[in-house]
Amino acid sequence: MGNAESNAYQNHLSRFLPEEQSEIDGLFDTLSGSSSSAGTRNPKAAKKTVTLAALQAHTREPLPEPMTARLYNGMKSIDLPGKSSGLSQQIAKEQFVIFMSNLLKGNADEKISIIMRMISKTGGPLKGKQIQEFTEDLITSVVHVLSYRKELKGWSLENTRDSSSGVKALASELLSELKLPDGTKPVGSQLLETNFDQSVIEDWVYRVPQISVFLSVVIRQGLQVLHSLPDQTNDILNLVPHCKGIKGRGVVSLFDIPAIIYINSHLPAEMQHKWQLLFSSRLHGESFSQLCAHIVNKGPCLVIIRDLDGFLFGGFASHSWEVKPQFQGDNRCFLFSVFPTLAVYTYTGYNDHYMYLNHGQQTMPNGLGMGGQHGYFGLWIDSDYGKGHSKAKPRCTTYNSPQLSAKEDFTLDAMEVWAVGDAPESAGRKGKKSILDVDPQAQALLEMAGKSRQSEGLREPMEEDEAVYHVFPKCRWIRSGQCYIKPNTIKLGKC
């Protein structure tokens, strides 16, 4: 190994901690078919190589084949001093380490030449269609590998909307940030046929952080390297939030995985780690009273709606919803669309009409709204549940959003509300109690007599780890959950 080559290699190697170097060594040895554990500074290590077939065999299940080929092309694109460029069909140790160093530790300038070759073997300039195919492959690979590695944190491909349209929608949104040197952004078919040189793509990678984050996830999870070490940023750790409240309830969320990833990235950092289902019209019924009962004073949350035409859209409320005839919230609120386009619309500074919730008033509008003004909201659900509107001619004044629904006045088909981040203390079960809560024996006798509690439907369902069996010594049989137990028995868990 020459001095120039050795120095460059050692500089890249020094970016990794000793335990990281050990993982990279182990992976390269596995891929090169070597069982030895030669150190990274052993000159003989350079003689080991990795073939495309070996890489494909290693990633056959965790990664789609097109992405494996792109990774191989990226590794192969690394030029080593004193060696002919692109002639070898095998990956040397130095190429492998530099590839890892640039994509996992490097800046946009260091990543761009590799990304260019991952998009096209011949490099640039590149057509928009080629960049689109790469971006869709990248997003598909992220969803696939996170599902395969069971890293979706309670979400799954079964309890979320089909991701195929979400992949295309997210790719389209990321591609909309491609900007030519004169500042123009080509759209539609014009974008697909436009040629983009390396400087434009480097600027795009710099301004669109999802590309680097997705590549990091594909490498770490796809190759099973450096995925458990603490150098990962919050962008990776909170790429997908923990999902609570949907397991075992037979509900398929209105969100798809790409939309969850994208919307979550726009939330305040302290709210990106967890989403909890508060309300689903399919679980809790089509009732504005039920909606209010499940979302008031529960902390910041996301509202998502599907209209009868299949359009999906919603908003982020930065504060707990309160029933009152005034606007609330702050400039962290935003509106978004999920289908047919994926986009986030943030505040304009024009007014402070961020969020509004009112019920039972005669002099003020009753319903849930975000942005715009009374009678002309960017998003509105009427208290006469099932009706709503999204008015924007041409744009919502608060969020600069277009009309989100298929029709200006729409009919609601389904709705969900998700709390994000940790629940506020006020969201605990400290509210006013029913007389039957004060006297649980009366509750038990009422249930045994076949009488129902009219207020029970307004209560939030108890999570599995919160359910308990109550004990009342004077009763012969006591109902807990959906069954009866003998008195003087204490048992945690669900019946």
The label of the residue with tokens 């003689």 reads 47
Whether 382 and 367 have beta carbons less than 8 Å apart is answered as yes
Residue 448's pLDDT is what?
60
Q: How far, in Å, CA of 369 to CA of 348, rounded?
A: 17
Residue 159's pLDDT is what?
95
The pair of three-digit structure tokens given for residue 340, joined into one six-digit string? 């047919």
H or E segment and range at residue 172: helix 163-175
Q: How far, in Å, CA of 118 to CA of 70, rounded?
A: 5
DSSP code at position 41: T
Q: What one-letter code names the amino acid at 358?
A: N
Whether 343 and 265 have beta carbons less than 8 Å apart is answered as no
CA atoms within 13 A on the CB side of 61: 5
The pair of three-digit structure tokens given for residue 372, joined into one six-digit string? 């715009």
The pair of three-digit structure tokens given for residue 305, joined into one six-digit string? 């709606």
Q: What is the pLDDT along the chain (495 residues), one digit of tens a residue?
A: 555 557 778 888 999 989 999 999 999 999 998 534 434 445 444 478 999 999 999 999 999 999 999 999 999 999 887 665 555 689 999 999 999 999 999 888 899 999 999 999 887 789 999 999 999 999 999 999 999 999 999 999 999 999 999 999 999 999 999 999 999 999 989 999 999 999 999 999 999 999 999 999 999 999 998 876 655 666 678 899 999 999 888 899 999 999 999 999 999 999 999 999 999 999 999 999 999 999 999 999 999 999 999 999 999 999 999 999 999 999 999 999 999 999 999 999 999 999 999 998 888 999 999 999 999 999 999 999 999 999 998 899 999 999 999 999 999 999 999 999 998 876 655 444 444 454 555 555 555 666 555 444 444 445 444 443 333 333 444 444 444 444 444 444 443
Looking at the DSSP assignment, which residues form a beta bridge with residue 367? Answer: 358, 382
**What are the residues whose beta carbons fall under 8 Å from the beta carbon of 10, sequence distance 6 or more?**
none
The label of the residue with tokens 């203390």 reads 425
Q: How far, in Å, CA of 370 to CA of 381, rounded?
A: 9
Number of C-beta neighbours around residue 367 at 10 A: 22
Residue 48's pLDDT is what?
86
Q: How far, in Å, CA of 401 to CA of 395, rounded?
A: 5
Residue 449's pLDDT is what?
60
Residue 474's pLDDT is what?
38
The pair of three-digit structure tokens given for residue 357, joined into one six-digit string? 């919730």
Q: How far, in Å, CA of 471 to CA of 22, rounded?
A: 56
3-state secondary structure of 425: helix
Whether 91 and 72 have beta carbons less than 8 Å apart is answered as yes
Closest CA to 158 of 263, 253, 243, 241: 253
Pairing of strands 409-420, 478-480: unpaired
Q: What one-letter code names the amino acid at 463?
A: E
3-state secondary structure of 133: helix
